[in-house]
Amino acid sequence: MPVLNERAYLRRAVESVLAQQLPGPLELILALAPSSDGTEAVAAELAAEDPRVRLVHNPAADIPVGLNLAIRAGAHPIVVRVDAHSELDPGYTVRALATLRRVGAANVGGVMRADGRTPFQRAVARAYNSPIGLGGGAYHVGAREGEAESAYLGVMRRDVLEEVGLFDESIRRGEDWELNLRIRQAGHVVWFDPELAVTYWPRDSWTRLVRQFFATGRWRGELVRRYGRTNSVRFFAPPALVAVLGAATVVGLLQVTRVLTGVWAWLAAVVYLPIIAYAMLVGGVAAGRGGGTGWRDKLWTLAVLPTMHVAWGAGFLVGTVRGADDTVDTSRLDGRNTPLP
């Protein structure tokens, strides 16, 4: 479990791991990045309370570096990646181990079941769980069991991880997709099991969400630069939306300033049609069922979906043109997570 500024979530995440109904031994290795919110003190308490919790330090603070440190420190043939913002069902690991054996997979993942405690966080969770929120990936919206492009978190065979060289430490976001690409290229199977579900608590403020999605989009642009057509077509939808919004803005300015008039103004107005369709789609998701039902939840959904798409799409365009460089997700760096009720 890579950990950075997770004081508000860490204890419950750890408790859900230690509650796994395993017939054999279990160890939980926390890769601790330098935190500013007291997370390291909470981690020390958890390690003192239960000898199965072990700590390794990740001064670089990058997720793939922390994951590799934790994997190398581990002693068992199966590696279960977990997140400090997530909670596992008690039978998660047993089910995943059974699926690994049944299908002969190298990595098994399930559904990210996003949830929220505030109107904003519930709106983000609704967007995560919607087919249009994050592109309809199997682990976001569910799908039939079968081979998959990637896996959320993942329950992995150590021998395969060592064969492919663990996580690529030069990739700060999208490291799981890239790892699963190498696993598949090495001839192994990545498997999706919809019966596996992990509760995930998304970002709890608008500024955090923007920073997270811009950084993630920029790294996806970097992965497109590196791997080209191996990236799914769905990754290109948000940058297409940003391009259309940009074109519509230019057309609007030209119309207002009377540079475009007459039939040319009418022809150029076609650029507004996909935006109108998108707005209707977002409105439908906000008004529909799922997630919170209060009016604040619905209003936040109207803001959250475009925020996610535009921030991710803008980051993607920058990353495709300029690369990711040293871009990091700063959404957890200030250490001010909302305390749990």
Burial class (CB in 10 A: 0-12, 13-18, 19+), 276: exposed
Confidence at residue 263, expressed as pLDDT on a 0 to 100 scale: 87
Write the pLDDT tens digit of every residue in 15-61: 999 999 998 899 999 999 999 989 999 999 999 999 999 999 999 88
State how far the alpha carbon of 92 is from the alpha carbons of 29, 53, 198, 236, 271, in Å.
Answer: 18, 18, 8, 33, 47
Q: What percent of the chain has pLDDT over 70?
A: 94
Is the pTM higher than 0.95?
no
Confidence at residue 208, expressed as pLDDT on a 0 to 100 scale: 92
Name the range with the highest mean pLDDT among 65-69, 132-136, 322-326.
65-69
Beta bridge partners of 107: 156, 190
Question: Can you give the length of the chain in residues?
Answer: 341
pLDDT band at 204 (very low <50, low <70, confident <90, very high): confident
Confidence at residue 138, expressed as pLDDT on a 0 to 100 scale: 55
pLDDT band at 339 (very low <50, low <70, confident <90, very high): very low
- Bigger pLDDT: 135 vs 47: 47
| Rounded distance between C-alpha atoms, residue 77 and residue 93, angstroms | 13
* Predicted confidence (pLDDT) at residue 169 exceeds the cutoff of 60: yes
Q: What would the mean pLDDT of 218-234 be, rounded to a whole number?
A: 87
Q: What would the mean pLDDT of 136-155 be, rounded to a whole number?
A: 77
Confidence at residue 290, expressed as pLDDT on a 0 to 100 scale: 61
Confidence at residue 157, expressed as pLDDT on a 0 to 100 scale: 97
| Rounded distance between C-alpha atoms, residue 267 and residue 271, angstroms | 9
Domain boundaries of the chain, sorted by first residue: 2-204, 229-330
Write the pLDDT tens digit of every residue in 92-130: 999 999 999 999 999 999 998 889 889 999 999 988 888
List Cβ neighbours of 56 (8 Å cut-off, separation of 6 or more): 29, 30, 31, 32, 66, 69, 70, 73
Q: What would the mean pLDDT of 142-147 be, rounded to a whole number?
A: 81
Confidence at residue 261, expressed as pLDDT on a 0 to 100 scale: 87
CB 25 within 8 A of CB 76: yes
Confidence at residue 12, expressed as pLDDT on a 0 to 100 scale: 94
CB 101 within 8 A of CB 189: no
Write the pLDDT tens digit of every residue in 281-301: 999 888 876 655 678 888 999
Q: What is the 8-class DSSP label of residue 271?
A: G
Confidence at residue 291, expressed as pLDDT on a 0 to 100 scale: 54
Choice among 26-35, 64-73, 110-119, 186-195 with the minimum mean pLDDT:
110-119
CB 16 within 8 A of CB 153: no
* Predicted confidence (pLDDT) at residue 69 exceeds the cutoff of 90: yes
* Predicted confidence (pLDDT) at residue 140 exceeds the cutoff of 60: no
- Class of 2-204 per CATH? alpha beta
Angle at 116 between CA 208 and CA 83, to 5 degrees: 70
